[in-house]
Amino acid sequence: MTNSLTLRRPDDWHLHLRDGEMLAAVAAYSGHFGRAIIMPNLVPPVVTGAQAAAYRDRILAALPPEVTLRPLMTIYLTETTDPADLIAAHRDGIISAVKLYPAGATTNSASGVRDFDKVRPVLEAMAEAGIPLCTHGEVTDPAVDIFDREAVFIDKVLDPIRRATPGLRVVMEHITTSDGVDYVSANQNIGATITTHHLVINRNHILVGGIKPHYYCLPVAKRESHRLALRRAATSGDQRFFLGTDSAPHPDRAKESACGCAGCFTAPNTMSILAQVFEEDGALDRLEGFTSLNGPAFYGLPANEDMIRLVKRDTPATYPTHIPAGDETVTVFDPGFPLYWHVEDPA
Ligand code: NCD
Ligand code: ZN
């Protein structure tokens, strides 16, 4: 039985660090990652290169000195994004990707795109410059059932965008369905992030036996067959699938509410959970690909040079159930099983 595993330092290809007190509270919990793609859905959103640079500086200032996490910034695409600003920000090493939120799809996405034709010139410029587009893959049409929104997005938005701009590199973020897995598997120039929590929970975890706000995220977890499809994709070794935790902290008061926010805070225990998931699926030898190799390969970056070690012990690793954030608390994702894999950093 394998009880120790040394991996290239992992990266997180989809992370919400927020700003202000929340940023200060959560940033260090992503400290064992080498790099993270930072989501731009602040209030107001990060829409220019200058704002991305300023946000990067605030993140670096919030990290404890011993933490080497490198934030890879993104810009929030709007119908008025200036292609020249994007291109310059990418050329100057300020941004690594651009994020597409359909307007109203998720937390703080009101400034997102309504008319996809309006952003076509920006997408063309991005394809030319090799800037990846990260997509929140859900339509927002009120007539579409929330559990079908990812599948409809693929047909109605994603596939048309990719056909119109074939050179564009696209990341389908936080896929939650077998439809997402199948679409990515069947195509080139596309990758997908998979979150930790979507490998663990299905929609029953949210809804059976009382509503569990801390398991509510967007895209919402789907039925069990979809979770199993995500597990197969993550553990398959296919380079198009890689880790994006989508760790998305909210104050407990905002989640435990009559209109609770979407997002699971998985940064602290993600690596312990993933080791357990991959072990259960007999795929521990593919964990490094998923967490540390496939993402950099997609983004055209080298893997991290340094290593972390995961050690399986008889006693479970302990993580806080909550962390303080200013006057608030944030609940850490509870996978529902003990975590015997401990993270040792440095290796
Ligand atoms: C994210 C957030 O809170 O910013 N929430 C979530 O449920 N994942 C937004 C997002 O990535 O959809
Ligand atoms: Zn997210």
Per-residue pLDDT reduced to its tens digit, 240-297: 999 999 999 999 999 999 999 999 999 999 999 999 999 999 999 999 999 999 999 9
Three-class SS state of 127:
helix
CB count within 10 Å of CB 110 equals 13
**Looking at the predicted structure, is the pLDDT value of residue 111 above 90?**
no
Tokens of 287: 């964990």
- Distances from the Cα of 197 to the Cα of 32, 66, 245, 246, 269, angstroms: 18, 28, 8, 9, 11
Q: Which residues contact 315 (CB under 8 A, 6 or more apart)?
A: 340
Q: At residue 73, does pLDDT exceed 80?
A: yes
Q: Among all ligands shown, which has an atom nearest to the Cα of 17?
A: 1
Is a pLDDT exceeding 90 seen at residue 347?
no
Hey, what are 81's tokens? 């994004």
Q: What pLDDT is recorded for position 338? A: 98
CATH number, domain containing residue 226: 3.20.20.140
Asked if the bond preceding 219 is cis, omega within 30° of 0, the reply is: yes
Nearest residue by C-alpha to atom 4 in ligand 1: 107
The pLDDT score that the predictor gives to residue 181 is 98
Q: Is the pLDDT of residue 105 over 90?
A: no
What is the reported pTM? 0.98
Q: Which two tokens stand for residue 339?
A: 């975590």
246 Cβ below 6 A of ligand 1: yes
| Beta carbon of 218 within 6 Å of any ligand 1 atom | yes
Q: Which residues contact 325 (CB under 8 A, 6 or more apart)?
A: 21, 22, 24, 25, 26, 249, 251
Residues contributing to the annotated binding site: 14, 16-18, 41, 99, 136, 174, 218, 246, 250, 262
Residue 310 CA: distances (Å) to CA of 3, 7, 157, 256, 304: 8, 8, 40, 33, 16
pLDDT digits (tens, 9 = 90+) for 164-214: 999 999 999 999 999 999 999 999 999 999 999 999 999 999 999 999 999
Q: What is the pLDDT of residue 154?
A: 98
Examine residue 346 and say whether the peptide bond preceding it is cis (omega within 30 degrees of 0).
yes
* Predicted confidence (pLDDT) at residue 215 exceeds the cutoff of 90: yes
Domain that holds residue 244: 4-344
Residues 6+ apart with CB under 8 A from 36: 11, 12, 13, 15, 17, 30, 69, 70, 71, 72
pLDDT band at 43 (very low <50, low <70, confident <90, very high): very high
- Total domains in the chain come to 1
